[in-house]
Structure 1
Amino acid sequence: MSHTYYAPRGGHPPQSQMTADRAVFTEAYAVIPKGVMQDIVTSQLPFWDDTRLWVLARPLTGFAETFSQYIMEVQPGGGSDKPEPDPQAEAVLFVVEGEMSLTLAGEKHTMTPGGYAFIPPGTDWQLRNEAGEPVRFHWIRKAYEFVDGIDVPEAFVVNENDIEPTPMPDTDGRWATTRFVDPEDVRHDMHVTIVTFQPGGVIPFDETHIMEHGLYVLEGKAVYHLNQDWVEVEAGDFMWLRAFCPQACYAGGSGPFRYLLYKDVNRHPKLKINAL
């Protein structure tokens, strides 16, 4: 089954556009609407050619502290032979538009929309756009939490379209999760999944838990309940939820509501803030 993935294109709004939008940043959550992702808020990175990015999340004291998330836009011929400067950073790449070549430890992979790669810390990798159109993909980075006696998980490249979603119990398939790693595998300290709600599907209670979240809406629309606020979101919007932010939703619209979800898992909480 093929899917639709929203990808930003940038641009700049006219002077006649209304200033007020749906963007909000609170003590518990942030919403970055798709209309915010214009040319003026893009960034550059060292050792990346013909590339720009939208930074959606980064560690902030007192807010989300475990991950960063970018939407990368690489022009034809662009990319990087030295993409990751931090040897302790692990990564997930998820393609939403275009085609790119990812080389992992000398092995080349062609990735198209729905393509998903897990890159362990310390991996030798390169990325190039060898196609004729720009490629846009998410890059989620986290400092891997090493544990004595537990191996670091291996790299892999798959595509969402080759994985059967797992329905949540007692939902008649209206709520399902596409999992790219075994949830019982404690080698992994983060999960990046795709959550799908069919029209009318709901999270029927306010989840309140330790996991931080980044949620990028790939398709459809819904209403989210975030820390007692109702927030309407649609394809291209990003939600950033700190630990213990209450959260629930119901899906609207005529088609599925789908999002790319980050969460930190499988490790003890740090008992000393900013501990080395």
Structure 2
Amino acid sequence: MTSPSTSTNWYYAPTGGHPPQTELLTDRAMFTESYAVIPRGVMRDIVTSFLPFWENTRLWVIARPLSGFAETFSQYIVEVSPGGGSDRPELDAQAEGVVFVVEGEGLLTVDDQEHRLDAGGYAYLPAGQRWTLHNEGSEPLRFHWIRKAYEPVDGLDRPEAFVTHENDVEPREMPGTEGRWVTTRFADPSDLRHDMHVNIVTFQPGAVIPFAETHVMEHGLYVLEGKAVYRLNQDWVEVQEGDFMWLRAFCPQACYSGGPGRFRYLLYKDVNRHAKLSRQFV
């Protein structure tokens, strides 16, 4: 059994509820042809979902494949009440997943190995993996669950399951940034068995992405901590902890972390595979 690490980080997690009738409408929610912003203020009880074979559990679906937008992944924020969980969490044998805990504690079983995950706990679960997850504590367990249809490659083995913690992974400095921009990479970027990465990106106050990144990877960016202004296509958007940004391929992006504290987000991207080629006109 793996014991939880003592986390030095804090992560924002939604708790639901509804605003009072006296509250004004927020207009930060946006859905465009190239990106979407789901602010934390709209993650209320009324938009939660439920899943088969999950007990005492609800979730916010913050990304799902949409043709012509972002097609490779889904992302949930899952809330498991005390005594809840699942012995049949994943019903798609071709779906791989990442679980990242932001609040509470859960008991994850992978094959017959038990792992206690607290905030900052990370698990990669390959397609076809047998696993269960339960909340045996007295407080809600909240975690991100990112799912993707695994793309096998002839001649490459499939990656194995692994469980770790953010505190146990050394962040890597982005070259030329003097440590102001670092990335915590849970999977080895040179391991081509992996076709998706889920990382944590951290900016110190005043740090920037000083160019418009424009690339083939789709992104989900959930803000774990802090605030910043983020460039999405042609717009500068102010975001804070609890907000989610969803970017289609080739959407230009940049960032300015204005402080006062650091700015951190959980980042999904698809990697290491050929682009799928249409046979529609062949």
Q: TM-score range by the shorter chain?
A: over 0.9
Distance 1:244 1:103 in 2: 38
SS of aligned partner of 1:21: coil
Alignment correspondent of 2:278: 272
SS in 2 for 1:161: helix
* 2:3 matches 1:24: no
- Aligned residue in 2 for 1:46: 52
Unaligned runs of 5+ in 2: 1-6
The equivalent position to 2:210 in structure 1, one of 204, 208, 213, is: 204
**Corresponding residue of 1:172:** 178
Equivalent residues of 2:104, 2:140 under 8 A apart? yes
Deviation by residue 1:206-252 (Cα, 9 ceiling, x = unmatched): 00000000000000000011111010000000000000000000102
Q: Paired residue for 1:5?
A: 11
Confirm or deny that 1:235 pairs with 2:250: no
Is contact 2:96-2:127 (8 Å) kept?
A: yes
| TM-aligned CA distance change 1:271 to 1:31, over 3 Å | same
How far 1:273 sits from its partner (Å)?
7.2
Q: Does 1:134 align with 2:140?
A: yes
Letter in 2 for 1:180: F
1:108 corresponding residue in structure 2? 114
- Whole-Å separation in 2 of the counterparts to 1:182 and 1:76: 34
Deviations 1:71-127 (A, max 9, x none): 000000100000000000000000000000000011110000000000000001001
Q: Separation in 2 of the partners of 1:16 and 1:253?
A: 30
Aligned to 2:93: 87
Q: TM-score, normalised by structure 2?
A: 0.96
Aligned counterpart, 2:232 = 226
The alignment-based identity, stated in percent, is 73
2:258 corresponds to which of 235, 252, 262: 252
Q: Greater CA deviation, 17-26 or 51-60?
A: 17-26
Normalised to the residue count of structure 1, the TM-score between the two structures is 0.98
Which secondary structure state, in structure 1, belongs to the residue aligned with residue 257 of structure 2? strand
Distance 1:104 1:138, change over 3 A: same
Give structure 1 regions of 4+ aligned residues with deviation exceeding 3 angstroms.
Answer: none
Q: Write out aligned runs for 1:122-201 (5 A).
A: 122-201=128-207
